[in-house]
Structure 1
Protein backbone atom coordinates (compact mmCIF):
# COMPACT_ATOMS: atom_id res chain seq x y z
CA UNK A 1 0.00 0.00 0.00
CA UNK A 2 1.09 3.55 -0.74
CA UNK A 3 0.11 7.00 0.55
CA UNK A 4 0.66 9.88 -1.88
CA UNK A 5 0.33 13.64 -1.50
CA UNK A 6 0.11 15.83 -4.61
CA UNK A 7 0.29 19.63 -4.61
CA UNK A 8 -2.27 21.37 -6.86
CA UNK A 9 -1.50 24.64 -8.63
CA UNK A 10 -4.76 26.60 -8.49
CA UNK A 11 -3.45 29.10 -11.05
CA UNK A 12 -3.93 26.47 -13.76
CA UNK A 13 -7.28 26.52 -15.57
CA UNK A 14 -7.57 22.73 -15.46
CA UNK A 15 -7.15 22.83 -11.67
CA UNK A 16 -10.40 24.73 -11.26
CA UNK A 17 -12.21 22.17 -13.40
CA UNK A 18 -10.86 19.22 -11.39
CA UNK A 19 -11.45 20.84 -8.01
CA UNK A 20 -15.05 21.55 -8.93
CA UNK A 21 -15.89 18.05 -10.16
CA UNK A 22 -15.46 14.82 -8.15
CA UNK A 23 -16.28 12.94 -11.36
CA UNK A 24 -13.35 14.49 -13.30
CA UNK A 25 -11.01 14.08 -10.32
CA UNK A 26 -11.99 10.40 -10.04
CA UNK A 27 -10.99 9.93 -13.67
CA UNK A 28 -7.71 11.80 -13.20
CA UNK A 29 -6.78 9.68 -10.17
CA UNK A 30 -7.55 6.43 -12.02
CA UNK A 31 -5.26 7.51 -14.87
CA UNK A 32 -2.32 7.35 -12.42
CA UNK A 33 -2.42 3.55 -12.64
CA UNK A 34 -1.88 1.47 -15.80
CA UNK A 35 -4.44 -1.04 -14.52
CA UNK A 36 -6.66 0.48 -11.80
CA UNK A 37 -7.82 -2.03 -9.15
CA UNK A 38 -11.46 -3.06 -9.53
CA UNK A 39 -14.02 -1.06 -7.57
CA UNK A 40 -14.78 -3.70 -4.96
CA UNK A 41 -15.69 -3.70 -1.29
CA UNK A 42 -13.68 -6.80 -0.35
CA UNK A 43 -10.14 -5.65 -1.15
CA UNK A 44 -7.93 -2.57 -0.86
CA UNK A 45 -8.86 0.07 -3.38
CA UNK A 46 -7.81 3.46 -4.63
CA UNK A 47 -9.05 6.16 -2.25
CA UNK A 48 -8.55 9.90 -2.60
CA UNK A 49 -9.31 13.08 -0.70
CA UNK A 50 -8.87 16.80 -1.21
CA UNK A 51 -7.48 18.76 1.74
CA UNK A 52 -6.94 22.49 2.06
CA UNK A 53 -3.78 23.58 3.84
CA UNK A 54 -3.80 26.59 6.22
CA UNK A 55 -2.49 28.69 3.34
CA UNK A 56 -5.51 27.67 1.26
CA UNK A 57 -3.57 25.52 -1.18
CA UNK A 58 -5.39 22.26 -1.99
CA UNK A 59 -3.55 18.96 -1.67
CA UNK A 60 -4.68 15.68 -3.18
CA UNK A 61 -4.12 12.59 -1.00
CA UNK A 62 -4.27 9.11 -2.52
CA UNK A 63 -4.10 5.70 -0.81
CA UNK A 64 -3.59 2.87 -3.29
CA UNK A 65 -2.41 -0.75 -3.57
CA UNK A 66 -0.01 0.24 -6.36
CA UNK A 67 2.41 3.14 -6.69
CA UNK A 68 0.87 5.97 -8.74
CA UNK A 69 2.46 7.97 -11.55
CA UNK A 70 1.05 11.50 -11.44
CA UNK A 71 3.03 12.95 -14.35
CA UNK A 72 -0.19 13.78 -16.18
CA UNK A 73 -1.45 15.79 -13.19
CA UNK A 74 1.82 17.71 -12.97
CA UNK A 75 1.36 18.69 -16.60
CA UNK A 76 -2.29 19.67 -16.12
CA UNK A 77 -2.52 21.11 -12.59
CA UNK A 78 1.01 21.24 -11.21
CA UNK A 79 4.32 22.96 -11.92
CA UNK A 80 5.75 21.16 -14.99
CA UNK A 81 9.02 23.13 -15.04
CA UNK A 82 9.81 22.75 -11.34
CA UNK A 83 12.78 20.64 -10.31
CA UNK A 84 10.71 18.54 -7.88
CA UNK A 85 8.12 16.10 -9.32
CA UNK A 86 5.22 17.68 -7.42
CA UNK A 87 4.16 14.65 -5.43
CA UNK A 88 5.49 12.47 -2.63
CA UNK A 89 4.71 8.78 -2.18
CA UNK A 90 5.25 6.89 1.08
CA UNK A 91 5.36 3.15 1.76
CA UNK A 92 2.09 3.05 3.70
CA UNK A 93 2.24 -0.62 4.73
CA UNK A 94 5.24 0.06 6.94
CA UNK A 95 3.27 2.66 8.88
CA UNK A 96 0.17 0.46 9.13
CA UNK A 97 2.25 -2.31 10.69
CA UNK A 98 3.18 -0.01 13.60
CA UNK A 99 -0.41 0.56 14.75
CA UNK A 100 -1.12 -0.90 18.20
CA UNK A 101 -4.20 -1.28 20.36
CA UNK A 102 -4.58 1.59 22.80
CA UNK A 103 -2.56 4.08 20.74
CA UNK A 104 -4.09 7.54 20.36
CA UNK A 105 -3.97 9.43 17.07
CA UNK A 106 -5.40 12.52 15.49
CA UNK A 107 -7.49 11.73 12.42
CA UNK A 108 -9.12 13.29 9.40
CA UNK A 109 -11.90 11.61 7.47
CA UNK A 110 -13.87 12.93 4.52
CA UNK A 111 -17.04 10.90 4.19
CA UNK A 112 -20.60 10.73 2.88
CA UNK A 113 -22.82 10.17 5.97
CA UNK A 114 -26.14 8.68 4.82
CA UNK A 115 -29.15 6.84 6.18
CA UNK A 116 -32.18 5.08 4.71
CA UNK A 117 -35.68 6.46 5.12
CA UNK A 118 -39.23 5.78 3.96
CA UNK A 119 -41.72 8.43 2.94
CA UNK A 120 -44.05 9.44 5.77
CA UNK A 121 -47.09 7.15 5.82
CA UNK A 122 -45.37 4.37 3.87
CA UNK A 123 -46.17 0.82 4.92
CA UNK A 124 -43.60 -1.57 6.34
CA UNK A 125 -41.74 -3.30 3.56
CA UNK A 126 -41.84 -0.26 1.30
CA UNK A 127 -38.42 0.28 -0.32
CA UNK A 128 -36.29 2.81 1.50
CA UNK A 129 -34.38 5.70 -0.04
CA UNK A 130 -30.78 6.56 0.77
CA UNK A 131 -30.42 10.18 1.82
CA UNK A 132 -27.70 12.32 3.34
CA UNK A 133 -27.38 13.36 6.97
CA UNK A 134 -27.39 17.15 6.89
CA UNK A 135 -26.78 18.28 10.48
CA UNK A 136 -23.49 17.97 12.40
CA UNK A 137 -25.08 16.05 15.28
CA UNK A 138 -26.47 13.38 12.93
CA UNK A 139 -23.22 13.26 10.96
CA UNK A 140 -21.24 12.68 14.17
CA UNK A 141 -23.74 10.05 15.26
CA UNK A 142 -23.24 8.30 11.90
CA UNK A 143 -19.51 8.10 12.62
CA UNK A 144 -19.99 6.95 16.22
CA UNK A 145 -22.24 4.12 15.03
CA UNK A 146 -19.41 2.81 12.82
CA UNK A 147 -16.39 3.30 15.05
CA UNK A 148 -16.43 -0.10 16.76
CA UNK A 149 -16.51 -2.08 13.51
CA UNK A 150 -13.91 0.27 12.05
CA UNK A 151 -11.40 -0.51 14.81
CA UNK A 152 -11.35 2.69 16.84
CA UNK A 153 -13.21 4.80 19.37
CA UNK A 154 -13.35 8.58 19.27
CA UNK A 155 -11.97 9.90 22.54
CA UNK A 156 -14.21 11.80 24.92
CA UNK A 157 -13.71 15.46 25.72
CA UNK A 158 -12.55 16.03 29.32
CA UNK A 159 -15.32 17.59 31.40
CA UNK A 160 -13.19 20.66 32.11
CA UNK A 161 -12.97 21.42 28.37
CA UNK A 162 -16.60 20.83 27.43
CA UNK A 163 -18.51 23.90 26.24
CA UNK A 164 -21.71 22.35 24.85
CA UNK A 165 -23.64 20.26 27.40
CA UNK A 166 -25.26 17.27 25.77
CA UNK A 167 -28.88 16.12 25.74
CA UNK A 168 -30.57 12.83 24.94
CA UNK A 169 -30.89 13.98 21.33
CA UNK A 170 -27.58 15.79 20.93
CA UNK A 171 -24.30 14.77 22.61
CA UNK A 172 -22.89 18.29 22.15
CA UNK A 173 -19.09 18.21 22.31
CA UNK A 174 -18.93 14.99 24.31
CA UNK A 175 -16.48 13.52 21.79
CA UNK A 176 -13.28 15.01 20.44
CA UNK A 177 -14.44 15.46 16.86
CA UNK A 178 -15.63 18.38 14.75
CA UNK A 179 -17.46 18.43 11.41
CA UNK A 180 -16.67 21.00 8.76
CA UNK A 181 -16.40 21.65 5.03
CA UNK A 182 -19.87 20.37 4.14
CA UNK A 183 -20.17 20.34 0.33
CA UNK A 184 -23.17 19.02 -1.67
CA UNK A 185 -22.38 17.57 -5.08
CA UNK A 186 -24.53 16.75 -8.08
CA UNK A 187 -23.39 15.73 -11.54
CA UNK A 188 -24.31 13.46 -14.43
CA UNK A 189 -22.01 10.63 -15.40
CA UNK A 190 -20.77 10.80 -18.98
CA UNK A 191 -20.03 7.12 -19.49
CA UNK A 192 -22.15 5.35 -22.13
CA UNK A 193 -25.19 3.75 -20.55
CA UNK A 194 -25.10 5.86 -17.38
CA UNK A 195 -28.47 7.18 -16.28
CA UNK A 196 -29.56 9.85 -13.84
CA UNK A 197 -27.57 12.22 -11.68
CA UNK A 198 -25.15 11.39 -8.90
CA UNK A 199 -25.98 13.28 -5.69
CA UNK A 200 -24.14 13.17 -2.38
CA UNK A 201 -22.94 15.38 0.48
CA UNK A 202 -19.27 15.34 1.39
CA UNK A 203 -18.19 16.38 4.90
CA UNK A 204 -14.88 16.29 6.77
CA UNK A 205 -14.33 15.05 10.32
CA UNK A 206 -11.28 16.09 12.36
CA UNK A 207 -10.70 14.58 15.77
CA UNK A 208 -8.84 12.22 18.04
CA UNK A 209 -9.26 8.44 18.24
CA UNK A 210 -7.99 5.48 20.22
CA UNK A 211 -7.24 2.21 18.46
CA UNK A 212 -9.38 -0.68 19.69
CA UNK A 213 -8.73 -3.23 16.91
CA UNK A 214 -5.56 -2.63 14.84
CA UNK A 215 -6.52 -5.10 12.09
CA UNK A 216 -9.97 -3.54 11.67
CA UNK A 217 -8.46 -0.06 11.59
CA UNK A 218 -5.93 -1.11 8.94
CA UNK A 219 -8.86 -2.33 6.86
CA UNK A 220 -10.65 1.01 7.35
CA UNK A 221 -7.55 2.95 6.28
CA UNK A 222 -7.08 0.88 3.11
CA UNK A 223 -10.69 0.04 2.15
CA UNK A 224 -12.39 3.30 3.11
CA UNK A 225 -15.40 4.11 5.27
CA UNK A 226 -18.90 4.75 3.95
CA UNK A 227 -20.25 5.41 0.47
CA UNK A 228 -19.11 7.48 -2.54
CA UNK A 229 -15.50 6.28 -2.26
CA UNK A 230 -14.91 6.87 -5.97
CA UNK A 231 -15.74 10.56 -5.51
CA UNK A 232 -13.38 11.62 -2.74
CA UNK A 233 -15.12 10.09 0.29
CA UNK A 234 -14.06 7.35 2.70
CA UNK A 235 -10.35 8.13 3.13
CA UNK A 236 -9.22 8.39 6.76
CA UNK A 237 -5.65 9.39 7.60
CA UNK A 238 -3.87 9.54 10.95
CA UNK A 239 -1.46 12.07 12.43
CA UNK A 240 0.33 12.29 15.80
CA UNK A 241 -2.18 13.41 18.43
CA UNK A 242 -1.60 16.87 19.79
Structure 2
Protein backbone atom coordinates (compact mmCIF):
# COMPACT_ATOMS: atom_id res chain seq x y z
CA UNK A 1 0.00 0.00 0.00
CA UNK A 2 1.61 3.32 -1.05
CA UNK A 3 1.88 6.32 1.27
CA UNK A 4 2.52 9.98 0.48
CA UNK A 5 4.31 11.97 3.19
CA UNK A 6 4.90 15.68 3.70
CA UNK A 7 7.68 16.74 6.08
CA UNK A 8 8.37 20.30 7.25
CA UNK A 9 12.04 21.31 7.02
CA UNK A 10 13.63 24.02 9.16
CA UNK A 11 16.15 25.71 6.79
CA UNK A 12 18.04 27.43 9.63
CA UNK A 13 19.44 24.28 11.20
CA UNK A 14 22.90 23.01 10.25
CA UNK A 15 21.69 19.54 9.29
CA UNK A 16 18.90 21.06 7.19
CA UNK A 17 21.36 23.16 5.21
CA UNK A 18 23.34 20.02 4.45
CA UNK A 19 20.24 18.18 3.23
CA UNK A 20 18.95 21.12 1.19
CA UNK A 21 22.32 21.54 -0.54
CA UNK A 22 22.91 17.88 -1.39
CA UNK A 23 20.40 15.59 -3.17
CA UNK A 24 22.63 12.68 -2.18
CA UNK A 25 22.36 13.55 1.53
CA UNK A 26 18.60 14.08 1.25
CA UNK A 27 18.25 10.70 -0.44
CA UNK A 28 20.08 9.06 2.48
CA UNK A 29 17.81 10.83 4.97
CA UNK A 30 14.73 9.63 3.09
CA UNK A 31 16.00 6.06 3.09
CA UNK A 32 16.44 6.32 6.85
CA UNK A 33 12.69 6.62 7.33
CA UNK A 34 11.85 3.31 5.68
CA UNK A 35 11.02 0.32 7.89
CA UNK A 36 12.29 -2.27 5.41
CA UNK A 37 15.53 -2.70 3.55
CA UNK A 38 16.14 0.34 1.28
CA UNK A 39 16.82 -1.83 -1.76
CA UNK A 40 13.40 -3.44 -1.34
CA UNK A 41 11.53 -0.14 -1.18
CA UNK A 42 10.30 1.86 -4.15
CA UNK A 43 10.75 5.47 -3.11
CA UNK A 44 10.24 8.83 -4.80
CA UNK A 45 10.84 12.23 -3.24
CA UNK A 46 10.69 15.91 -4.11
CA UNK A 47 11.73 19.06 -2.28
CA UNK A 48 9.32 21.98 -2.70
CA UNK A 49 10.98 25.26 -1.73
CA UNK A 50 8.42 27.76 -3.04
CA UNK A 51 8.80 29.45 0.33
CA UNK A 52 12.53 29.20 1.16
CA UNK A 53 11.73 29.84 4.83
CA UNK A 54 9.39 26.83 4.97
CA UNK A 55 10.54 24.17 2.49
CA UNK A 56 8.59 20.93 2.42
CA UNK A 57 9.74 17.44 1.54
CA UNK A 58 7.29 15.09 -0.21
CA UNK A 59 8.02 11.36 -0.22
CA UNK A 60 6.14 8.46 -1.80
CA UNK A 61 6.87 5.09 -0.18
CA UNK A 62 5.63 1.54 -0.57
CA UNK A 63 5.31 0.93 3.19
CA UNK A 64 4.33 3.32 5.98
CA UNK A 65 7.42 5.33 7.02
CA UNK A 66 8.53 7.06 10.24
CA UNK A 67 10.06 10.53 9.87
CA UNK A 68 10.91 11.12 13.54
CA UNK A 69 14.63 11.21 12.73
CA UNK A 70 14.12 13.92 10.10
CA UNK A 71 12.09 16.05 12.50
CA UNK A 72 14.79 15.72 15.16
CA UNK A 73 17.62 16.49 12.75
CA UNK A 74 16.09 19.04 10.39
CA UNK A 75 12.68 20.11 11.66
CA UNK A 76 11.17 21.79 14.74
CA UNK A 77 11.11 18.88 17.23
CA UNK A 78 10.01 21.03 20.18
CA UNK A 79 7.41 23.15 18.38
CA UNK A 80 3.65 22.76 18.23
CA UNK A 81 1.84 21.67 15.10
CA UNK A 82 2.05 18.80 12.66
CA UNK A 83 5.72 18.06 11.96
CA UNK A 84 4.94 15.55 9.23
CA UNK A 85 1.91 13.95 7.68
CA UNK A 86 1.59 10.46 6.19
CA UNK A 87 -1.46 9.75 4.03
CA UNK A 88 -2.73 6.60 2.35
CA UNK A 89 -2.25 7.13 -1.39
CA UNK A 90 -4.93 4.65 -2.49
CA UNK A 91 -7.90 7.09 -2.28
CA UNK A 92 -6.25 9.42 -4.80
CA UNK A 93 -5.43 6.56 -7.18
CA UNK A 94 -9.05 5.46 -7.03
CA UNK A 95 -10.14 8.89 -8.30
CA UNK A 96 -8.28 8.47 -11.59
CA UNK A 97 -10.76 8.18 -14.44
CA UNK A 98 -10.59 8.97 -18.13
CA UNK A 99 -11.45 12.59 -18.77
CA UNK A 100 -10.97 13.76 -15.19
CA UNK A 101 -8.76 16.81 -14.61
CA UNK A 102 -6.19 17.46 -11.89
CA UNK A 103 -3.70 20.14 -10.95
CA UNK A 104 -0.20 18.68 -11.00
CA UNK A 105 3.38 19.31 -10.03
CA UNK A 106 6.46 17.42 -11.21
CA UNK A 107 10.18 17.97 -10.74
CA UNK A 108 12.02 16.06 -13.46
CA UNK A 109 15.38 15.77 -15.19
CA UNK A 110 14.63 16.12 -18.94
CA UNK A 111 17.26 14.24 -20.95
CA UNK A 112 17.97 12.98 -24.44
CA UNK A 113 20.07 10.09 -25.71
CA UNK A 114 22.58 10.75 -28.47
CA UNK A 115 25.44 8.83 -30.03
CA UNK A 116 27.50 11.95 -30.73
CA UNK A 117 27.47 14.97 -28.33
CA UNK A 118 27.96 18.36 -30.00
CA UNK A 119 30.52 19.39 -27.39
CA UNK A 120 31.82 16.20 -25.77
CA UNK A 121 33.53 16.37 -22.40
CA UNK A 122 37.01 14.91 -21.98
CA UNK A 123 35.50 11.69 -20.62
CA UNK A 124 32.99 11.46 -23.47
CA UNK A 125 35.74 12.06 -26.02
CA UNK A 126 37.71 9.20 -24.51
CA UNK A 127 34.73 6.90 -24.97
CA UNK A 128 34.23 8.01 -28.57
CA UNK A 129 37.89 7.49 -29.46
CA UNK A 130 37.82 4.08 -27.77
CA UNK A 131 34.96 3.03 -30.06
CA UNK A 132 32.34 2.85 -27.32
CA UNK A 133 29.00 2.62 -29.13
CA UNK A 134 26.79 3.22 -26.11
CA UNK A 135 24.64 6.33 -26.34
CA UNK A 136 25.22 9.38 -24.15
CA UNK A 137 22.50 10.71 -21.89
CA UNK A 138 22.52 14.50 -22.05
CA UNK A 139 20.29 16.93 -20.20
CA UNK A 140 18.13 19.45 -22.04
CA UNK A 141 19.36 22.90 -21.08
CA UNK A 142 16.84 25.38 -22.51
CA UNK A 143 13.33 25.93 -21.17
CA UNK A 144 11.87 25.35 -24.65
CA UNK A 145 13.60 21.96 -24.99
CA UNK A 146 12.63 20.96 -21.47
CA UNK A 147 8.99 21.85 -22.06
CA UNK A 148 8.99 20.00 -25.38
CA UNK A 149 10.45 16.93 -23.63
CA UNK A 150 7.46 16.96 -21.28
CA UNK A 151 4.71 17.63 -23.83
CA UNK A 152 5.89 14.98 -26.30
CA UNK A 153 5.72 12.25 -23.64
CA UNK A 154 2.38 12.83 -21.92
CA UNK A 155 0.55 10.23 -24.02
CA UNK A 156 2.81 7.43 -22.81
CA UNK A 157 2.27 8.68 -19.24
CA UNK A 158 -1.52 8.42 -19.47
CA UNK A 159 -2.61 12.06 -19.68
CA UNK A 160 -2.65 15.15 -21.86
CA UNK A 161 -2.30 18.86 -21.14
CA UNK A 162 -5.35 20.94 -22.12
CA UNK A 163 -5.14 24.31 -23.79
CA UNK A 164 -4.54 27.27 -21.53
CA UNK A 165 -7.72 29.15 -20.58
CA UNK A 166 -5.81 32.37 -21.33
CA UNK A 167 -6.00 32.13 -25.10
CA UNK A 168 -4.79 35.68 -25.58
CA UNK A 169 -1.29 34.54 -24.64
CA UNK A 170 1.42 34.33 -27.30
CA UNK A 171 1.18 31.18 -29.39
CA UNK A 172 4.13 28.83 -29.56
CA UNK A 173 6.52 28.42 -32.49
CA UNK A 174 4.14 26.00 -34.25
CA UNK A 175 1.27 28.44 -34.06
CA UNK A 176 -0.55 26.28 -31.50
CA UNK A 177 -2.37 27.84 -28.54
CA UNK A 178 -0.38 27.54 -25.30
CA UNK A 179 -0.92 24.52 -23.07
CA UNK A 180 -1.97 24.84 -19.45
CA UNK A 181 1.53 24.22 -18.10
CA UNK A 182 4.40 26.35 -16.90
CA UNK A 183 7.95 25.91 -15.68
CA UNK A 184 8.31 27.35 -12.19
CA UNK A 185 11.90 26.38 -11.35
CA UNK A 186 15.00 25.45 -13.34
CA UNK A 187 18.17 24.45 -11.53
CA UNK A 188 21.50 22.97 -12.55
CA UNK A 189 22.82 20.67 -9.83
CA UNK A 190 26.37 19.34 -9.60
CA UNK A 191 27.46 17.05 -6.78
CA UNK A 192 29.47 13.95 -5.95
CA UNK A 193 27.92 10.51 -5.58
CA UNK A 194 30.18 9.79 -2.63
CA UNK A 195 33.80 9.37 -1.62
CA UNK A 196 34.74 7.73 -4.93
CA UNK A 197 37.24 9.74 -6.96
CA UNK A 198 36.27 8.47 -10.41
CA UNK A 199 34.82 10.99 -12.84
CA UNK A 200 31.74 8.80 -13.25
CA UNK A 201 30.96 9.42 -9.56
CA UNK A 202 30.16 13.08 -10.28
CA UNK A 203 26.54 13.91 -11.07
CA UNK A 204 25.40 16.87 -13.15
CA UNK A 205 21.70 17.30 -13.79
CA UNK A 206 19.21 19.96 -14.85
CA UNK A 207 16.13 19.68 -12.65
CA UNK A 208 12.94 21.38 -13.81
CA UNK A 209 9.67 21.85 -11.96
CA UNK A 210 6.52 21.78 -14.08
CA UNK A 211 3.08 22.88 -12.87
CA UNK A 212 -0.30 23.07 -14.52
CA UNK A 213 -3.39 21.03 -15.25
CA UNK A 214 -3.67 17.59 -16.82
CA UNK A 215 -6.52 15.47 -18.14
CA UNK A 216 -6.46 11.70 -17.62
CA UNK A 217 -6.45 9.67 -20.85
CA UNK A 218 -5.31 6.28 -19.51
CA UNK A 219 -5.77 5.67 -15.76
CA UNK A 220 -3.58 2.55 -15.77
CA UNK A 221 -0.62 4.30 -17.38
CA UNK A 222 -0.99 7.33 -15.12
CA UNK A 223 -1.17 5.12 -12.02
CA UNK A 224 2.08 3.46 -13.09
CA UNK A 225 3.81 6.83 -13.50
CA UNK A 226 2.52 8.08 -10.16
CA UNK A 227 3.94 5.02 -8.40
CA UNK A 228 7.20 4.54 -10.31
CA UNK A 229 8.07 8.11 -11.31
CA UNK A 230 8.91 10.01 -14.47
CA UNK A 231 12.34 10.34 -16.06
CA UNK A 232 15.82 9.67 -14.61
CA UNK A 233 17.54 10.82 -11.39
CA UNK A 234 14.78 9.53 -9.10
CA UNK A 235 17.25 9.01 -6.26
CA UNK A 236 18.09 12.72 -6.41
CA UNK A 237 14.64 14.27 -6.05
CA UNK A 238 13.27 13.91 -9.58
CA UNK A 239 10.30 11.95 -10.91
CA UNK A 240 7.59 12.42 -8.26
CA UNK A 241 4.35 13.56 -9.93
CA UNK A 242 1.71 14.78 -7.47
CA UNK A 243 -1.94 15.57 -8.22
CA UNK A 244 -4.62 17.71 -6.63
CA UNK A 245 -8.26 17.07 -7.60
CA UNK A 246 -10.12 19.91 -9.30
CA UNK A 247 -13.79 20.70 -9.01
CA UNK A 248 -15.54 19.33 -12.04
CA UNK A 249 -17.42 21.95 -14.02
CA UNK A 250 -21.16 21.49 -14.31
TM-score normalised according to structure 1 size:
0.88
Change (3 A) 1:4 1:176: same
Q: Is the 8 A contact 2:11 2:53 kept in 1?
A: no
**Separation (CA, whole Å) in 2 of partners of 1:162 and 1:225:** 31
Q: Does 1:81 align with 2:78?
A: yes
Q: Does 1:177 align with 2:181?
A: yes
Q: Is the 8 A contact 1:74 1:85 kept in 2?
A: no
**Separation (CA, whole Å) in 2 of partners of 1:9 and 1:119:** 41
Aligned to 2:193: 189
**Separation (CA, whole Å) in 2 of partners of 1:162 and 1:9:** 41
Superposition CA RMSD, Å = 2.6
Aligned to 2:135: 128
Q: Is the 8 A contact 2:11 2:52 kept in 1?
A: no
- Unmatched segments (≥5 aa) in structure 2: 120-127
Change (3 A) 1:126 1:234: same
Q: Deviations over 1:78-108 (max 9, x none)?
A: 1111244510010001221121110011100
Equivalent residues in 2 for 1:92-241, closer than 5 Å: 92-117=89-114, 118-120=116-118, 126-158=133-165, 161-168=167-174, 174-190=178-194, 195-241=200-246
Q: Does 1:22 align with 2:23?
A: yes
**SS of equivalent residue, structure 1 residue 161:** coil
**Separation (CA, whole Å) in 2 of partners of 1:119 and 1:189:** 23
TM-score normalised according to structure 2 size:
0.85
Aligned to 2:62: 65
Deviates more, 1:232-241 or 1:24-33: 232-241
Q: Deviations over 1:190-227 (max 9, x none)?
A: 26697530111111000110000111111111100000
Aligned to 2:88: 91
**Separation (CA, whole Å) in 2 of partners of 1:59 and 1:120:** 38
**SS of equivalent residue, structure 2 residue 153:** helix
Q: Deviations over 1:109-155 (max 9, x none)?
A: 00000012313599xx9543211111111111111121111110011
Q: Deviations over 1:167-188 (max 9, x none)?
A: 23x86x6211111211111111
Q: Does 1:48 align with 2:42?
A: no
**SS of equivalent residue, structure 1 residue 38:** helix
**Separation (CA, whole Å) in 2 of partners of 1:187 and 1:27:** 14
